[in-house]
Amino acid sequence: MDDMRPEIQEAFANQQSKLGNLADSRERLVRGALAARNMHRDGRTQLAAGVAAVVIAALVIATFAYVRTGIGPARHAPPVPASSPTPMSRPLNVSNDTPVILYHDPVNFDQLDGTTWDGKIDGRVGRGVTNGGVGNAQGSLYTTMGDIRDRTGQVVATYDPKNQGVFWADDGVHFCDVVRTGSRDESGPGMLQTGAVGQAETNVTQIGTFAPANLQGGGPVVAACSPPGDRAVVYQAPPGGVGVVQIWVIQLSTGRKVWTGGGGGWIAASHDGRYIALADGSGQTTIYGAGGAALAKLDGTVFAFSWDGTLAVAAGSFGAPPSIVNWSDGQTVWTCPDNSLKYWDSFAEPGGSHLAIGVLDPAFPQTRGFAPVDLFVVGADGIVAFERKNVTLFMY
C-alpha cells in the first residue's frame, strides 16, 4: 500500500475527509477503494471503480454474472417459480451471551440478522443498518452511524459519529476511542478514552497527534481494546489513513505505555492486545509479543488472530486467497479451497476456537458498496464448521 500512486492516496484522503473522525476505520477505507462503484456506505459516497482497479486489478469481476441467492448455496439450475422472497421474520432465539455472526438480511438490506457460530440458528436482530455500522465481537450490540442498539434492535445509547467513534472492547460491553483535545481546524494531541453504554467516557492518556481535519494528515487509531486484559493498542496513521507510523501499547488502568514500536504498512492485533502483527513493505509480517519482543516472521500480511492468539489469518495481500497459520511454527492449518476466492474480512469467535473468513467470490460481485462474500467458519483443527455463499457481513 505504500507504493500506491499519488492519485489513489488523494482518493483515500478525500474519502476519509467525508467520514469525520472515523478515520480510524482504515479497513473501511481500504475496502471502499477495493470494491466501490459509486455506491453509498456509512452514509458517504465511496470511491469510483477506477480506483478499485488501480488498487488491485485481481478484484475486477464485472465480467461475471451477478447471482444473488440469499445466504444459501448458489443455484446453478434455472429457478423454480415461487413467491417473492421476504426478509427473515423470526427473532434470533438465543441467549444474549451466545456469540453470533451478524450479517445484512439478503432481502431487506436495512435489517440485521445473526447466526450462531455453528451455523444452526438464524434470526432477525434489528434494523437501521442501510448505511453500515459496527458490531461488537459477541454480536450483542451494534452501531448504526449515530446510535447503539441491542440484539432486539432497541436503541440503548446515542453518539455523534462526526466527533466520536466506537471501537468495541473484547468484553462486548465497553468501547475505546481516541478523540481530539482541541479544534478540528488545528493540529493537536489525541486523548484515548474508554466508555460503556450508559456511562460517561473516561480519559486514559494523551496519545498521538491529529492533523487539521481539512488536511487529512492522519491521526491516532485504536487497534485493540481490552478492559479484562487491561490493554489498548493505538497506532498513528499517516496522511491518507493507510499505514502505520508508530504503535503504542497502553495499560488502560494507568495510562502507562507498556511498549512502543512501528511503523509499517498494515497492523492487526489480538483482541486483548497481547499480540501485534505488523506488515512491512517487503511482503512479510512480524509478530510481536506482550512486551514488544519479535516472536516470529511470516510471509504475507496478517489480518486477524484467533481468540487465544495462537492462529493467524494471513494472505499475500488484499485480493489473494487467505490461509490460517500457526504463527509460532509456521504450519498452515487451513487454506482457501479456491484460488479465485480473494481475502476480504476475518474475525475470531469470542471465547472460542473458530475463525470466520469472508472471501470475494467472482460469482457474486458487489453492486451496492458492500461486498458479499463466501463465509468460511473454520476451527483450530482446520475443519470447516460451516460455509455459506453470498453473505454480506456486518462490520466488525
What would the pLDDT profile of 38-97 be if each residue is shown by its tens digit? 222 222 222 233 333 333 333 333 322 232 223 333 333 444 444 568 999 999 999 999
Task: Indicate whether 81 belongs to any domain.
Answer: no
Domain span holding position 374: 6-75+87-391
Hey, what's the torsion of the CAs at 290, 206, 240, 365, to 10 degrees?
60
Task: Indicate whether 292 belongs to any domain.
Answer: yes
pLDDT for residue 396: 60
pLDDT for residue 21: 40
DSSP-derived secondary structure letter, 59: G
Task: Indicate whether 314 belongs to any domain.
Answer: yes
Kindly report the pTM of this predicted structure.
0.81
- Cell numbers standing for residue 201: 467516557
How confident is residue 153, by pLDDT bands cut at 50, 70 and 90? very high
For the residues of 224-244, what is the DSSP string, one character each?
EEETTTTEEEEEEE-TTS-SB
Question: 200: domain CATH number?
Answer: 2.130.10.10
Task: Indicate whether 1 belongs to any domain.
Answer: no
* DSSP-H helix ranges across the chain: 6-18, 26-35, 49-55
Number of domains composing the chain: 1
Nearest in space to 231 (alpha carbons), one of 288, 277, 178, 270: 270
Task: Indicate whether 204 belongs to any domain.
Answer: yes
Phi-psi region of 292 (alpha: psi -120 to 50; beta: other; left: phi over 0): left
pLDDT in tens, 113-129: 999 999 999 999 999 99
Task: Indicate whether 80 belongs to any domain.
Answer: no
Task: Indicate whether 199 belongs to any domain.
Answer: yes
- Burial call 230-242: b when 16+ CB within 10 Å, e when fewer: ebbbbbbbbbbbb
Task: Indicate whether 82 belongs to any domain.
Answer: no
pLDDT in tens, 281-338: 788 999 999 999 999 999 999 999 999 999 999 999 888 999 999 999 999 999 999 9
